Chains A and B, each alone.
Chain A
Amino acid sequence: MLEVNRLHKSFRNVRAVNDLSLHVQAGEIVGLLGPNGAGKTTTLRCICGILRPDAGQIVVGGYDLAKQEEQAKRLMAFIPEVPNPYDLLTVREHIQFVAMCYGTLDAFHERIEELLHRFDLKEKEHDLAATLSKGMRQKLAVACAFVHNARVFLCDEPLIGIDPKGQHELKSELQRLRDEGCAILVSTHQLDTAERLCDRVIIMQAGRKLAEGTLAELQAQAQMADSTLEQVFLRLTEESADGRTVVSDVANAGQ
Chain B
Amino acid sequence: MGALWFLTWRTLVNSTRRTLRHPVRAVVFALVVGWFGFIMVSNLVFAIGARLRDAPHLPPDLTLISMDSLIALIMAVHLTMLWQPLSPWTGIASVPLFTPADVNFLFPSPQKRPVVFFFLLFTRGMATSLINLLILILLVLAVGHDLIVNALTGRHPSSIGLSWVYPLMYLLAFTGLLFAGMYISLREQMREGFRRRTAAVFWCAAGVLAGMLGAYGYHAWRAGYEPLQEVVWHVLHNPMVAIPLLPLRALAEAALVFYKGWTPVVTAGFLLWGGFATCMVWLLIREQGWLYDLAAKMSSLSTVYNLRRQSPAQAAYENVVAYTASLGSDAPRWRLFERWTPQGVWALLWCNSLLLWRMAKGMMLSYSLLLSMAVLALIVFLRRYEPETYPLLGVSVLYLTAFFELFFTQILLMIAVRRAEVNKSLPFRANHILWMEILPPSLLIWFYTTLVWGAFCILLPQQWEMLTAHYLRVLSIVPLWHAGMLLVYLLLPDQSDYTQRVLLGILLLPMLLLTTLPALGTWALAARLDLPTVVATGLMMVVNALATWMVVGVAASRYTQMNPVE
A contact residues vs B (CB 8 Å cutoff): 12, 45, 48-52, 69-71, 73-74, 76-78, 80, 82-90, 93-94, 96-98, 100-103, 128, 130-131, 141, 144
State whether A49 and B105 are in contact (beta carbons under 8 Å apart), knowing that A70-B112, A97-B6, A101-B111 are contacts in the complex: no
Closest to B297 in A: A11
Closest to B299 in A: A84
Docked complex Cα distance between A49 and B109 (Å): 8
Dominant secondary structure of chain A at its interface with chain B: mixed
B261 to chain A, nearest CB (A): 43
Contact B101 A76 (CB under 8 A): no
State whether A82 and B100 are in contact (beta carbons under 8 Å apart), knowing that A52-B290, A88-B497, A128-B18 are contacts in the complex: yes
Contact A89 B11 (CB under 8 A): yes
Collect the chain A residues with CB atoms within 8 Å of residue B105's CB.
85-86, 94, 97-98, 101, 141, 144
Whether a CB of chain A sits under 8 angstroms from the CB of B106 is yes
Interface residues of B in 483-538 (CB under 8 A from A): 496-497
Whether a CB of chain A sits under 8 angstroms from the CB of B328 is no
State whether A50 and B14 are in contact (beta carbons under 8 Å apart), knowing that A69-B110, A97-B7, A102-B110 are contacts in the complex: no
Collect the chain A residues with CB atoms within 8 Å of residue B10's CB.
88-90, 93, 97
Collect the chain A residues with CB atoms within 8 Å of residue B332's CB.
none
Collect the chain A residues with CB atoms within 8 Å of residue B3's CB.
97, 100-101
Contact A49 B107 (CB under 8 A): yes
A50 to chain B, nearest CB (A): 5
B215 to chain A, nearest CB (A): 42
Collect the chain B residues with CB atoms within 8 Å of residue A49's CB.
107-108, 292
Docked complex Cα distance between A80 and B296 (Å): 13
Collect the chain A residues with CB atoms within 8 Å of residue B7's CB.
86, 89, 97
B205 to chain A, nearest CB (A): 28
Contact B565 A131 (CB under 8 A): yes
Collect the chain A residues with CB atoms within 8 Å of residue B99's CB.
84, 86
B298 to chain A, nearest CB (A): 13
The 5 sampled A-B contact pairs (Cβ below 8 Å) are A86-B101, A89-B14, A93-B10, A101-B109, A141-B104
Size of B's binding interface in residues, CB under 8 A: 34
Collect the chain A residues with CB atoms within 8 Å of residue B305's CB.
82, 84
Contact B6 A96 (CB under 8 A): yes
State whether A88 and B6 are in contact (beta carbons under 8 Å apart), knowing that A78-B108, A101-B106, A101-B110 are contacts in the complex: no
Contact A78 B104 (CB under 8 A): yes
B4 to chain A, nearest CB (A): 9
Docked complex Cα distance between A89 and B305 (Å): 18
Docked complex Cα distance between A87 and B11 (Å): 9
Collect the chain A residues with CB atoms within 8 Å of residue B241's CB.
none
Whether a CB of chain A sits under 8 angstroms from the CB of B303 is yes
Interface residues of B in 94-151 (CB under 8 A from A): 99-101, 103-113
Among A51, A76, A87, A103, the residue within 8 A (CB) of B296 is A51
B409 to chain A, nearest CB (A): 27
Among A74, A80, A85, the residue within 8 A (CB) of B110 is A74
Docked complex Cα distance between A103 and B14 (Å): 23
Docked complex Cα distance between A218 and B18 (Å): 53
Whether a CB of chain A sits under 8 angstroms from the CB of B293 is yes
State whether A88 and B14 are in contact (beta carbons under 8 Å apart), knowing that A78-B108, A82-B100, A101-B110 are contacts in the complex: yes
A-B pair number, CB within 8 angstroms: 100
Docked complex Cα distance between A52 and B7 (Å): 25
Docked complex Cα distance between A48 and B108 (Å): 5
B555 to chain A, nearest CB (A): 23
Collect the chain B residues with CB atoms within 8 Å of residue A103's CB.
110
Docked complex Cα distance between A73 and B106 (Å): 11
Closest to A94 in B: B105
Collect the chain A residues with CB atoms within 8 Å of residue B107's CB.
48-50
Collect the chain A residues with CB atoms within 8 Å of residue B110's CB.
69-71, 73-74, 101-103
Docked complex Cα distance between A128 and B15 (Å): 10
Q: A97-B105, A102-B110 are in contact. List 5 more A-B contacts (CB 8 A).
A: A70-B110, A76-B108, A87-B497, A100-B3, A130-B565
Collect the chain B residues with CB atoms within 8 Å of residue A144's CB.
105
Contact B106 A51 (CB under 8 A): no
Q: Give the one of A52, A77, A128, A141 with max B CB within 10 A.
A: A52
Contact A87 B496 (CB under 8 A): yes
Closest to A140 in B: B105
Docked complex Cα distance between A80 and B103 (Å): 9
Contact A51 B292 (CB under 8 A): yes
A97 to chain B, nearest CB (A): 6
Whether a CB of chain A sits under 8 angstroms from the CB of B59 is no
Contact A50 B101 (CB under 8 A): no
Contact B100 A12 (CB under 8 A): no
Whether a CB of chain A sits under 8 angstroms from the CB of B61 is no
Collect the chain A residues with CB atoms within 8 Å of residue B290's CB.
52
A128 to chain B, nearest CB (A): 6
Docked complex Cα distance between A102 and B3 (Å): 9
B188 to chain A, nearest CB (A): 10
State whether A100 and B6 are in contact (beta carbons under 8 Å apart), knowing that A50-B292, A70-B110 are contacts in the complex: yes
Interface residues of B in 13-32 (CB under 8 A from A): 14-15, 18
Contact B11 A88 (CB under 8 A): yes
Contact A84 B292 (CB under 8 A): no
Contact B104 A52 (CB under 8 A): no
Docked complex Cα distance between A87 and B99 (Å): 10
User: What 9 pairs across the A-B complex have the smallest Cβ distances?
Assistant: A84-B100, A101-B109, A100-B3, A80-B104, A73-B110, A48-B108, A70-B110, A78-B108, A86-B101
Collect the chain B residues with CB atoms within 8 Å of residue A77's CB.
108
State whether A88 and B296 are in contact (beta carbons under 8 Å apart), knowing that A52-B290, A101-B3 are contacts in the complex: no
Contact A85 B14 (CB under 8 A): no
Contact A86 B11 (CB under 8 A): yes
Docked complex Cα distance between A84 and B104 (Å): 7
Collect the chain B residues with CB atoms within 8 Å of residue A84's CB.
99-101, 103-104, 303, 305
Whether a CB of chain A sits under 8 angstroms from the CB of B289 is yes
B16 to chain A, nearest CB (A): 10
Docked complex Cα distance between A141 and B100 (Å): 12
Contact B104 A83 (CB under 8 A): yes
Interface residues of B in 281-335 (CB under 8 A from A): 289-290, 292-293, 296, 303, 305
Docked complex Cα distance between A51 and B290 (Å): 8
Collect the chain A residues with CB atoms within 8 Å of residue B14's CB.
88-90, 93, 128
Collect the chain B residues with CB atoms within 8 Å of residue A141's CB.
104-105
Closest to A75 in B: B110
State whether A73 and B101 are in contact (beta carbons under 8 Å apart), knowing that A52-B290, A100-B2, A100-B3 are contacts in the complex: no
State whether A98 and B109 are in contact (beta carbons under 8 Å apart), knowing that A52-B290, A87-B496, A128-B14 are contacts in the complex: yes
Docked complex Cα distance between A100 and B192 (Å): 38
Docked complex Cα distance between A70 and B111 (Å): 7
Collect the chain A residues with CB atoms within 8 Å of residue B104's CB.
78, 80, 82-85, 141
Collect the chain A residues with CB atoms within 8 Å of residue B496's CB.
87
Collect the chain B residues with CB atoms within 8 Å of residue A88's CB.
10-11, 14-15, 18, 497
Collect the chain A residues with CB atoms within 8 Å of residue B303's CB.
84
Docked complex Cα distance between A84 and B109 (Å): 16
Closest to B289 in A: A52
